[in-house]
Amino acid sequence: MKIKIFQNDEQLYNEIKNHIISEIRELPSFNLGLATGSTPEKLYLKLIEAYTSKEFDPSSIKTFNLDEYIGLEESHEASYHYYMQTKLFQHIPFKGSHVPKSTGNPEENVKEYNKLLEENPIDLQILGIGSNGHIAFNEPNTSFLETVHIATLTEKTIIDNSRFFNSIEEVPKTAITMGLKNIMNAKKIILIATGLNKADAIFKTVKGEVTEKVPASILQQHPNVTIYLDSEAASKL
């Protein structure tokens, strides 16, 4: 694991943007894994700026999101479809963009997304991390061997994510998510964490034992992970 710590957000997100673009330039076609949440918002602004100033060509890039709530319409403002559409996809014309389906038959959607990922191996996966160490919606005690599946959100994640909804009752209790096995199959991974509320999860991810109690700890076994942190998220290392 490579750890990079930055004193300000501007430098942090600029470096991540440069890292992604240099990876994209190395391959004639590129499969980019994406996350939602607060953490990558500034990264997406940087990527839009970079696209506008022609720093990369999106026409050979396909994107694949980690997860989506079950049961929210794509047009719901808290859905990950809506987030991705408004924060990235309507600004950058990628070759194709895929977010797991939130409606319809969940089991069929799981199968379909697993197949899509098998056919399109991810070159670089962007990850955030939950304050309980989750990545995507792989909550503590999820098997490291899981592929795409339907996950039940923990109380902690429901509380953390309720800020995107009008009330905590509105937060869906289940989600469709890439499993840890799909994530570990990515050739390269970038994990981003900012803020004091991530410090404990980052400490356990980097220095703790590899255990299903801390889903992100599996990343210690991946051959190419770079972790980008601000000083607060890095404060327990």
Query: Between residues 55 and 89, which has the closer beta carbon with respect to ligand F6R?
Result: 89
Site for ligand F6R in 99-138 (CB under 6 A): 128-130, 134-136
Residue 132 designated active-site: yes
Distance of CA 124 to the CA centre of its chain: 11
Among 22, 38, 90, 105, binds ligand F6R (CB under 6 A): 38
Beginning with the edge strand found earlier in the chain, give each strand of the sheet holding 188-193 in spatial order. Answer: 2-6, 225-230, 188-193, 124-127, 30-34, 61-65, 96-98
Locate 197 and state its tokens. Answer: 């509320």
Rounded least distance, CB 54 to ligand F6R, Å: 28
Whether the CB-CB separation of 64 and 122 falls below 8 Å is answered with yes
Query: Between residues 24 and 35, which has the closer beta carbon with respect to ligand F6R?
Result: 35
Rule CB under 6 A: is residue 176 a binding residue for ligand F6R?
no
Q: Would you give the binding string for ligand F6R spanning residues 50-79, x where CB under 6 A is met?
A: ----------------xx------------
Residue 169 designated active-site: no
CA dihedral 139, 142, 146, 148 (to 10 degrees): -30
Name residue, tokens 């290392």.
237
Rule CB under 6 A: is residue 179 a binding residue for ligand F6R?
no
**212: CB partners within 8 A, 6+ apart:** 140, 141, 142, 143, 144
Residue 197 designated active-site: no
Rule CB under 6 A: is residue 230 a binding residue for ligand F6R?
no
Locate 45 and state its tokens. Answer: 């602004």
Residues touching ligand F6R: how many (CB under 6 A)? 13
Rule CB under 6 A: is residue 32 a binding residue for ligand F6R?
no
User: What are the C-alpha distances in Å from 78 to residues 34, 114, 145, 216?
Assistant: 17, 24, 29, 24
Rule CB under 6 A: is residue 139 a binding residue for ligand F6R?
no
- Contact positions vs ligand F6R (CB under 6 A): 35-39, 66-67, 128-130, 134-136
